Amino acid sequence: MRDAAPTVAILAAGGVRTPDDLERIAGLGLAGAVVGRALLDGSLPLSVLGSGPVGALRS
């Protein structure tokens, strides 16, 4: 996706609930993901957002 729109920050949203979802999103080259609901309901622990490829989505 990054090749199609290199200057646009594309975010994934909707249905992002697990660390595996974030791994797949990182592999797509997206700028990040909206994970508010998953953090709120506890299905995605805040601790996973700071390490590995998932943490790279924070930049």
Q: How confident is the model at residue 59 (pLDDT cuts 50, 70, 90)?
A: very low
Question: Can you give the pTM of this predicted structure?
Answer: 0.66
Instruction: Look at residue 2 and tell me if it is in a domain.
Output: no
Q: Could you list the residue range(s) of the whole structural domain that residue 38 is in? A: 11-56
What local confidence, expressed as pLDDT, does residue 55 receive? 53
Instruction: Look at residue 49 and tell me if it is in a domain.
Output: yes
CA distance 9 to 17: 21
What local confidence, expressed as pLDDT, does residue 31 receive? 80
What local confidence, expressed as pLDDT, does residue 51 receive? 53
Q: Which secondary-structure segment (H or E) carries 33?
A: strand 32-33
Strand partners, 33: 12
Could you give the 3-state DSSP secondary structure of residue 32? strand
Instruction: Look at residue 41 and tell me if it is in a domain.
Output: yes
| Tally of structural domains, the chain | 1
* Contact indicator for 19, 44 with CB cutoff of 8 Å: yes
Which tens digit of pLDDT belongs to each residue from 11-46?
Answer: 898 888 888 898 888 888 788 888 888 988 988 888
